[in-house]
Amino acid sequence: MLWGGRFDKKLDKKAMSFSSSLNFDKILIFEDIEGSIAHAEMLRSVGLISQEETDKITEGLSRIKDEFKGGSWNPSEEEFEDIHSAVEYRLKELTGETAGKLHTGRSRNDQVATDMRLWIKKAATGLKGKNRELQKRLVETASENVNTLMPGYTHLQRAQPISFAFHLLAYVEMLERDVNRLDFVYYESDLLPLGSGALAGSTLPLARELIVSKLGFSGITANALDAISDRDFLLDFLNAVNLGMMHLSRLAEEIVLWSSAEWKFVLLSDEYTTGSSLMPQKKNPDMAELIRGKVGRVYGNYTTLATTLKALPLSYNRDLQEDKEPVFDSFNTYYTSIGIMESMIATMKINKDRFVEELKHDFILATDLADWLVLKGVPFRESHSIVGKVVSYCEKANKYFIDLSIDELKKIDERFDETALECFDINTSLERKKTFGSPNPEMVKEQIAGWKSKLF
């Protein structure tokens, strides 16, 4: 134990196990050693330890890293309360009393805060990379489906024709915001808390600014009390994961729908589906369902940390130890889910002709007809109402738009002329779109080109 000089009794065994964080903070060992080496070098710079001591410490720490990687040293929960004390204990075994100098001017409070910031910066960078991979995949699939017609839905009702490419690009936009959010988390984590001590800095002449560049931070925290009790960057990280997974859950929901017998739009690869232990004919979109289900888990992690932080008086309270598991779990869930989603999309087949015939026998081009009237000078509200009558007429006559003659149209409103019938051509419907951000194939191609030059 790093403390205890004054205690008569040892920590109860159950309490030790209850309070130990080793099982989950072990993941921080690399950041911990990185931070300790930088700290040791700073201590040497300001003369608090000698060059020789520094060398012993940094060599010892490097060796511990290797031992851990190689598996020859693996601390256990029964012995240590956290990875920080485990590393220091091992360092003492390797270097003797010198190890006792490493913690000079440092507290576990600023040490842990530093480790977590280093870790989050790596995590945000890693997740950004995964999002970029998924964006690439979506853009790739989009570029093969610029003319794949499908109904665009609102209220899960067919609304207007779009292309599958256009649909996928909506997700590329979402992922771009997810990347921006991760950038914000990175920026927020990019200040060094080391040198804040337990809560109030130190009477030792520590040169905090020397550590900043060693560890790749962009600056230094300004108030020790805040620095060691701040977990904003973690809650913002969990929020970023929430939104990212929420986006994936929407895509996953759509993949489940598209794979159904009712939609038959997408065929998932065997590699990303499972069968049933009872029903031999089943081919289940389990991966999509799991991604959708796991949004619950990351939401839960956010709730966990937000609840824990509520109304905590300054500065460090042991409650804050509960910050780690939700963060690590949300990272793992999100990181893996992006990868699975990417592979699932890469291997799925699109039933490109699925909707072509069916959309002809639909009223999905009603808006186009209303716009036609608008261009003839009919106020939109009136044209909306006229088209409503056309739909009603068709329903009663058991017809679809393409079955209508110009005479039938004229009977409803005499302002209709032959060119109105062009609105009923599903094949040219996308080309007729005029606005930036629409599924017009030319615009979609341009956007794909833009994304490709940005991402590839």
Residues 334-353 that bind a copy of itself (CB under 8 A): 336-337, 339-340, 343
Q: Does 363 bind a copy of itself (CB under 8 A)?
A: yes
Query: Site size for a copy of itself, by CB under 8 A?
Result: 193
Q: How far is the CB of 235 from a copy of itself (least distance, A)?
A: 6
Q: 239 to each of 47, 123, 251, 423, how far by Cα in Å?
A: 43, 14, 19, 45
Choose the catalytic residue: 72, 155, 277, 453: 155
- Cβ closest to a copy of itself, residue 67 vs residue 371: 371
Q: How far is the CB of 268 from a copy of itself (least distance, A)?
A: 11
Nearest residue to 375 via CA among 446, 442, 292, 434: 434
Q: Does 219 bind a copy of itself (CB under 8 A)?
A: no
Q: Does 220 bind a copy of itself (CB under 8 A)?
A: yes
Identify residue 425 by its one-letter amino acid code: D
Q: How far is the CB of 180 from a copy of itself (least distance, A)?
A: 7
Which region holds residue 67: left if phi is over 0, alpha if psi is between -120 and 50, else beta? alpha
Q: Does 155 qualify as catalytic in the annotation?
A: yes
Q: Does 367 bind a copy of itself (CB under 8 A)?
A: yes
Q: How far is the CB of 87 from a copy of itself (least distance, A)?
A: 13
| x/- letters, 317..336, toward a copy of itself (CB under 8 A) | xxxxxx--xx---------x
Residues between 234 and 293 with contacts to a copy of itself, criterion CB under 8 A: 235-236, 239, 242-243, 246, 249-250, 252-254, 256-257, 259-263, 269-287, 289-290, 292-293
Residues between 110 and 149 with contacts to a copy of itself, criterion CB under 8 A: none
Nearest residue to 93 via CA among 111, 79, 114: 79
Contact in structure between 145 and 165 (CB atoms under 8 Å) = yes
Choose the catalytic residue: 213, 260, 276, 405: 276
Q: Does 433 bind a copy of itself (CB under 8 A)?
A: yes
Nearest residue to 143 via CA among 123, 163, 113: 163
Q: How far is the CB of 255 from a copy of itself (least distance, A)?
A: 10
- Cβ closest to a copy of itself, residue 66 vs residue 247: 247
Distance CA(200)–CA(223), nearest Å, equals 8
Of the residues 27, 41, 67, 103, which one makes contact with a copy of itself according to CB under 8 A: 103
Taking contact as CB under 8 A, which single stretch among the options 30-38, 71-79, 158-166, 404-412 is the one that binds a copy of itself? 158-166
Nearest residue to 148 via CA among 266, 260, 285, 272: 266
Residue length, the chain? 456
Q: How far is the CB of 125 from a copy of itself (least distance, A)?
A: 18
Burial 291-330 (b: 16+ CB within 10 A, else e): bbebbebbbebbebbeebbeeeeebbeeebbebbbbbbbb
Q: Does 229 qualify as catalytic in the annotation?
A: no
Q: How far is the CB of 71 from a copy of itself (least distance, A)?
A: 17
Taking contact as CB under 8 A, which single stretch among the options 54-62, 64-72, 124-132, 383-391 is the one that binds a copy of itself? 383-391
Q: How far is the CB of 131 from a copy of itself (least distance, A)?
A: 14
Taking contact as CB under 8 A, which single stretch among the options 68-76, 115-123, 366-374, 407-415 is the one that binds a copy of itself? 366-374
Residues between 34 and 53 with contacts to a copy of itself, criterion CB under 8 A: 48
Q: Which residues contact 2 (CB under 8 A, 6 or more apart)?
A: 84, 85, 88, 103, 108
- Cβ closest to a copy of itself, residue 66 vs residue 411: 411
Nearest residue to 81 via CA among 26, 5, 9: 26
- Cβ closest to a copy of itself, residue 207 vs residue 406: 207
Provide the pairing of β-strand 219-220 with 349-350: unpaired
Task: Provide DSSP, 278-347.
Answer: S-TT--B-HHHHHHHHHHHHHHHHHHHHHHHHTTPPSS--GGGGGGHHHHHHHHHHHHHHHHHHHHHHHH
- Cβ closest to a copy of itself, residue 51 vs residue 435: 435
- Cβ closest to a copy of itself, residue 119 vs residue 258: 258
Burial of 109 (0-12, 13-18, 19+ CB in 10 A): buried
Distance CA(233)–CA(187), nearest Å, equals 9
Distance CA(246)–CA(239), nearest Å, equals 10
Catalytic residue annotation? 155, 276
